[in-house]
Chain A
Amino acid sequence: MLINKQLSNRALGLLLGASIAIGAGLSGAAFADDVSKTKGHEIAARSDRSDTGFVSSEVEAVMTLINKRGRKSTRELSFKTLERESEDVGDKGLTIFATPRDVKGTALLSHAKILAPDDQWLYLPALKRVKRISSANKSGPFVGSEFAFEDFTSTELNKYSYDYKGEDTLDGMKVDIIERFPLYKNSGYTRQISYIDQDVFQVRKIDFYDRKNSLLKTLTLSDQREYEGGVWRAHMLTMVNHITGKSTTLAYSDYKFKTGLADKDFVKGILKRIR
C-alpha cells in the first residue's frame, strides 16, 4: 500500500511536473505565437497602408493568358475602384471588359465585405440584363486565367490572419516573410506566403498553397511605382501555376486617382449605362 502510495505520489508529482512543463511550454509558445502574429499583422498593415488613401482610381489592364505550349490569349479590361476608408468594410469595384470582343461591355460590380460574402452583380450587354451572382465561387478561375476570383476580391487586410516567419533576400531586396491565412469562407487556399520588402513595404511575391497544403501558384509583383500622396501600385503581375504550367500576366497602364468617382458610380443601376 505504502509503496503504492509513494509510487502514486511520485507518479502524481511526475505528472504534475510534466503538465507544468507542458503548460510553460504552451504559454511560451503562445507568447511567441502572439508576438509573431502581431508582428505579421503590423507588417501586413504597413504594406496595406502604402496603397490606401487613394480615394478612387481608374486603370486599364491587359491580361495575357499563356498555356503550357506558350500560346497566348489576351483580355483588355478596365477597373474602377472606390476606396472605403474603414478597414471594416471593403472597397467597391467595377470591372469592365473591352475584349475578347464577344464579351465586350460585360461588367462586374462588386461591393466587397470583410468576412461576409461580397455583393456582386454581372451585366450582360447583349441581353441588357443585370444579374445578381453568387460570390461563393472564391477559388474558381477568373475568365479562364490563373487568377482566382479571390485573388482580386480578397485584398482587404482583415480578410486574413498573419504570422511573421522571418526575413530573407529577394532580388537583392531585404524582405519580411509573412504567412497569411484566409479567414473568409470558401477559399481555395490553406495559406499564402507573402514577401514584403523592408524599404517601401511592397508585396513582391506571394506563394499560394492549395487546400491540400501543396504549393499551387506563385504571384510575382513588379514595376512598383509611387504616385502622388505616397500611394504605391505594382504595374506588372505574373501568376504561375506550378501544377498546370500555365501562367497569366496582368499589365496595368498608368493609374488615375481621385477621378471624382462616388458611391453613385457603383450602384446596381449604373450597370445598365455601361453599354
Chain B
Amino acid sequence: MKMLLASALAAVSLSQAAFADGIDISGSIAAENRVFFERGNLPGQLQTYQGSLEFELDVRWTSPDRRWDFVFVPFGRLDGRDGERTHFDAREAYVRWNGDTVSVRTGYAKVFWGVAESLHLVDIINQSDGIEDIDNEDKLGQLMLEVSVQQDWGQITGYVLPSFRKRTFAGVDGRLRLPFPVDDSLTRFDQGQDEGGDIDFALRYSHYFGDWDVGLSFFSGASRDPRFVIDPSLGVFAPFYDDITQVGVDLQYTNEAWLWKFEGIVRDTPFETFVAGVGGLEYSFYGVTEAGADLGIILEIQYDNRSNDPLLGPLSPADNDLVTGFRYSLNDVEDTAVLAGITTDLDDGSLSGFVEASRRIGDNWTTELEGRFFLSVDQQNLIAGFSKDSHIIIRLTRYF
C-alpha cells in the first residue's frame, strides 16, 4: 500500500514536472500615453490626453514529439477615456497538429499575407482591431480551420472561417473616429444580421523561386471592410459587410540590397469589380556609421480604382498615393530603430506622416514613440475627418 502510494505520488510529480517543463508562459504589460496636438472637431470627443494600459499573455505548450501545439494569447486594453477602447480579445487560442507535410490548426489564430510596407491589400483573413490604431496592423483573432500542405513546389493552405468578427471603432468619446459613431447592433451582412451565420473560405499558395517570393490568394466571404449607411433617426453609422470574392498576388524580388515589392488584388463586390495595387522598393545602405547602422529607403505607390460612391462600397484613401519613408536601424545592443514616412495624395496633394521608433532598456523593458501627423489635408480627402487628430504615443512596455 505504502509502495503504491509512493509510486502514485512519484508518477503524479513526474507528470507535473513534465507538464511544467513543457509549458511556456510569457507576456507583457504596457503603459500607453496618447497625446493629441489639438482638441477634436466632434462633439463628446476626449480633449488631448488618452492614457491606457495594455497586456498580452502568451501561453504555449508543445508535445515532446513536437506533433501538437497548444497556444493561448489573450490581449486586453484598459482605456481611461474611451470606453469602447477598453476591450479584450483572444488573439490566439488554437490547437495545431504538425505532420510531416500537413499541418492542421483549429481555433482563434492570426495570419499575415503580403510584402508591402505602407498598405496590406492582400492580407484579409483577420479583422482589423481598428480601435487600437487606424493602420490596420492590429488584428482580432479569427476562428478558423486551417489545413496546410507543404511540398517541394510550395505551400498550399486552405481556410474555413466560421463566425465573422466585426471591426472595432473608436467610441463617441474617442479620437480618430468617423463623423458619426458606428453602431454595431445595426450591422448587416448579405445573409442577414447574424455574424455567426457567415462562413468564409480562403486559399493561399506561397513559395519562392530563386530571388522571387510569390504568393497567390483567394478569398470568398464577407468583406473585412464595411461600408457605412447613415441611420438618420439615430445619427449613427450602420456597418454593412458585403459578400466579396477577392484574388490577390504578392511578389517580392530580392537582389543585393534591393527589395522590389508588389501586391495586387481584384475584388468583386455585389456592386462593382475593381483592382488595387501597391508596389515599390526598399533599398538599404548598410554600415552607414562606424558602429554598423543601416539606412533603408522606402518608396511605394498605392493605386485603387474602386467607385467613389460610399453606398457601393467602403472607400479607400490609398487610391493614388505616394509613400516615401526610411528605416534607420542602429544595430546596437538596445535594437534602436526608427521608421518614418510621408504619404502624399497625388490627386489633391494631401500630406500625412508617421513615425515609429523603439529602443530596448535593459533586458526586459522597451520604450516606443509613435506619431501620426495629418499635415495638410484637403477638405475633400477621406482622411479630412482626422485632420485634428495628429498625435504622438509614448509607450513603455515591461516583458516577463
Contact = CB atoms under 8 A, between A and B. Distances in A.
A166 interface: no
B286 interface: yes
Contacts of B254: 132-134
A131 B256 CA distance: 15
B284 interface: yes
Nearest to A124: B112
B103 interface: yes
Interface in B211-260: 213, 252, 254, 256-259
A268 B208 contact: yes
A100 interface: yes
Interface string B245-278: 0000000101011110000000000000000000
A87 interface: no
Q: Looking at chain A, what size class is its interface with the partner chain? A: 35 or more
Contact of A267 (B150, B213, B257): B150
B207 interface: yes
Interface string A143-157: 110000000000000
A123 B256 CA distance: 20
A133 B256 CA distance: 10
A52 interface: no
A127 B126 CA distance: 12
Contacts of A130: 112
B166 to A, nearest CB: 21
B89 interface: no
A193 B296 CA distance: 33
B400 interface: yes
Counting chain B CB atoms within 10 Å of each CB, the highest count among A100, A136, A186 belongs to A100
B316 interface: no
A264 B112 contact: no
A139 interface: yes
Interface stretch (B4-12, B359-367, B373-381): B359-367
Contacts of A132: 115, 208, 213, 252, 254, 259
Interface in A121-173: 127-134, 136-137, 139-141, 143-144
A144 B360 CA distance: 12
Given A102-B399, A127-B112, A136-B286, A264 B208 contact: no
Interface in A71-120: 73-74, 99-104, 117, 119
A102 B292 CA distance: 22
A235 to B, nearest CB: 23
A61 interface: no
A128 B111 contact: yes
A70 to B, nearest CB: 13
Contacts of B360: 100, 102
Contact of B334 (A74, A119, A134, A144): A144
A216 to B, nearest CB: 11
Contacts, number: 102
Contacts of A269: 148, 150, 154-155, 206
A15 to B, nearest CB: 47
B256 A134 contact: yes
Contact of B333 (A73, A128, A264): A73
A102 B397 contact: yes
Contacts of A270: 150
A240 interface: no
A100 B331 CA distance: 14
A134 B258 contact: yes
B400 A101 contact: yes
B294 interface: yes
B188 interface: no
Q: Looking at B103, B213, B286, B360, which has the most chain A CB atoms within 10 Å of its CB?
A: B286
B98 interface: yes
Contacts of B150: 264, 267, 269-270
Interface string B305-336: 00000000000000000000000000111110
Contacts of A127: 112, 137
B185 interface: no
Nearest to A104: B26
Contacts of B110: 128
A101 B100 contact: no
A65 interface: yes
| A67, A99, A244, A267: most-surrounded residue (chain B CB, <10 A) | A267
A136 B26 contact: no
A127 B133 CA distance: 14
Contacts of A73: 333, 363
Contacts of A264: 100-101, 150
Centre residue among B96, B254, B259, B332 by max chain A CB count within 10 A: B254
A140 to B, nearest CB: 5
Given A144-B332, A144-B335, A101 B112 contact: no
A65 B291 CA distance: 14
B126 to A, nearest CB: 9
B287 interface: yes
Interface in B143-187: 148, 150, 154-155
Contacts of A5: none
Given A129-B112, A132-B254, A139 B333 contact: no
Interface of B: 26, 28, 60, 69, 96, 98, 100-101, 103, 110-112, 115, 137, 148, 150, 154-155, 206-208, 213, 252, 254, 256-259, 284, 286-287, 291-292, 294, 331-335, 360, 363-364, 366, 397, 399-400
Given A102-B399, A275-B60, 18 more contacts: A73-B333, A101-B28, A130-B112, A132-B208, A132-B259, A133-B259, A134-B254, A134-B258, A134-B259, A136-B286, A137-B284, A139-B287, A144-B331, A144-B334, A264-B150, A267-B155, A268-B213, A269-B154
10 contacts: A74-B363, A100-B364, A102-B399, A119-B208, A132-B254, A140-B287, A140-B294, A144-B331, A188-B287, A269-B148
